Structure 1
Amino acid sequence: MLTGEQIRAARALSRTEQSELARLSGLSLETIKRLERIRGPVNANARTLRAIHDAFEGLGVQFDGDDAGNIGVLRRLSEARLTETSARPPDTAYAPRLHRLVYQSHIAHSGAESLRPTLAYINAEAGILHASLGLTGIIYVHEGRILQALEGDRDAVHQAYRAISCYPQHRDLRLIEDRPTAQRQFSGFSFCCGMFPEDFARLHGEQTLQGGFNLADLTPGAASDLLGVARDLQQAPPRKTRGNPGACTLASACLDSTCGRARMAPSHHDAPQAH
C-alpha cells in the first residue's frame, strides 16, 4: 500500500520536484500529480507503484508501514543499501536502461594553488560513486577543466549527476550528451589528468585542448573520441606509473599549469570534496 501523503512526504524529504520524479520513474507528470492529490491509498496498478518505489529508492528514500495502519517515510543515511541495490540481479520487467551522460565543468580554485589535493579527492569520491551505483566512465582533467562520462542505468546516471552538480567546486556545468545507449564505451572507472610531452603524438593537435580545454563547440561524437583517447593515455607512459594524482610522482614533468607548475599546494585536509 502506498498513500498520496507518503509520495508528497518522500518528495519533500528527497527535495525532488514532481517533474523530476516523473522522469526518474518513467511515469507521466500528470500521473504523479494525480497520485499526490489522493488522500489515503492511491489507486494505481502494481507496475506504477513499483516504478515510484524504485525511483525513491534510488534517491535513498524508503516507505514504511504496518498492519495497524501506521505509515511513514525513511531516508537512508549511508551508502550500504545503494551497494546492495546495485549488486541485486535485475528484475526482467525492470531491466536497466543503459544510458550515457557527458558533461563539462571547471574546478573553482585560486591560481596560486595546486589542484593536486583536489584532484585526489575527485578521484577517490568519484570511484566510490561509480562503484555504489554500478556506473562506468572516465574523468579527464586539463587546466582545471573537467570532461566526464557516466554510463549505466538511466536513473543511476542521473542520480550521480545530481550529486556532482551540488558541489560548489564545479562551476559552469554544461551537458554535452544525455541519451540512451546500446553499449558502454568504458569497462570501468578511470581518471586522467595533466599533460605530458608524450601526449602530443597521441592527441594529434586536438583543437579542444587549445586555450585551456575550450569545449564550447565540442560535439558528443568529438567528446566521446577525446575521452577514448584519455582512457588509452592511462595505459601508456608516463601515466601508467603516475599513481594517485594527489601524490603524483610525475608532477615536476607535468605541463598543466594548475597542477605541475602551480606555486604552492593547499593543506591536504583543507581540500574540498568535488564529488
Structure 2
Amino acid sequence: MHADETDIDLSLVQRLVATQFPRWAGLPVGPIKSVGTSNAMYRLGEDMVVRLPRVAGPAKDVEKEHRWLPLLAPSLPFAIPVPLGKGTPGEGYPWHWSVFGWLEGENPDVGRIAEPRLVAEDLADFVAALHRIDPTDGPPSYRSEPLTARDASTRDAIEELRGIVGTDAANAVWDAALHAPVWSGPAVWIHADLQPGNVLLARGRLSAVIDFGCLGLGDPAVDLIAAWYLLPADGRDVFRSALGADEAAWTRGRGWALSIALDELRYYRDTNPAMATIARRVIHAVLTDQEHTR
C-alpha cells in the first residue's frame, strides 16, 4: 500500500514478542484481517493484540497512545485500547510498537447496521464525552489544521477523480465548508478518524473505539465525519441532534468527510479495494446529503 512500507510477517512478530516479552513467548500469534492501512495487527493469545506501524508516520504515534489512552479511558463511555506493553526496535524492525488488550466486536458494515439510530446515539455519547475531557497539555491532532490548509490538496483530488466523482457537486460541498464560520472555541480532544475500521460493534451497539493515531486537540467538527463514515442517512440526524451540532459545525464536518474520503480514494483506489470502497460510499453520502439540504 505504501512505497516506504516495512516488511512485517508472522515470524517477525513471533521473534519480537519472544525477545522483548518472554512471558508471552509461548502464546499463539496470528494475523488479523483489517482494512487498516497504517498498522499491521496480530492476535496474541486470547486477550491481546500486537500492533506494528507499517511506515514511519504512524510510528510517531506510539508514544502518544501509550501516554494518553490510559488517561482518557476512565472518562469515556465505551472501551478503548489499553496499552499492555511498548516494544522497541529489534529483529530488523525499525520502530516502537505496541501490545494492547484485545477488544471484542466487529467493524460495522454501514449498510447492514440493524439499529442505526441506537448506534448514532452511542457514537454521539462517545464523541461528547471525549470533547469534554480536560485538554491541558494535549498534543495537536493529526487533523488540527483549518480546512483552508487542505484547499489545494482537496481541489487537486477532485480534479484527479473527475469522472469518478461528481466534480461540480464536490466543489459545491467544499466551497460551503470553506465559507462556514470557523470554530472559535478552544481546541478539544478529538479522535479525528471515526470510520468503519476504527470502531467495533457488539450485539448491534457500539462496544469500542480503536486506533487513536490521529488523536489530539482540534475543532470538534472533525469528529462529525462519523455521520457519513459510519451512519446511514436515518442515523445522521440522530447523531447531529444528540451532539447539538449547529449548521456551521455540520458544514465543516461534511467538508472534512469529503476531503478525507477524496484523499483516501485517490491514494488507495489501486492498492486497497476495501478502503477505496469505503471512500466511494462516503463521497456519495456526502454529495447526496448536500443535495437533500438544498
Of structures 1 and 2, the larger Rg is shown by: 1
Check whether TM > 0.5.
no
Higher fraction of helix: 2
Interval containing the TM-score (normalised by the shorter chain): under 0.3
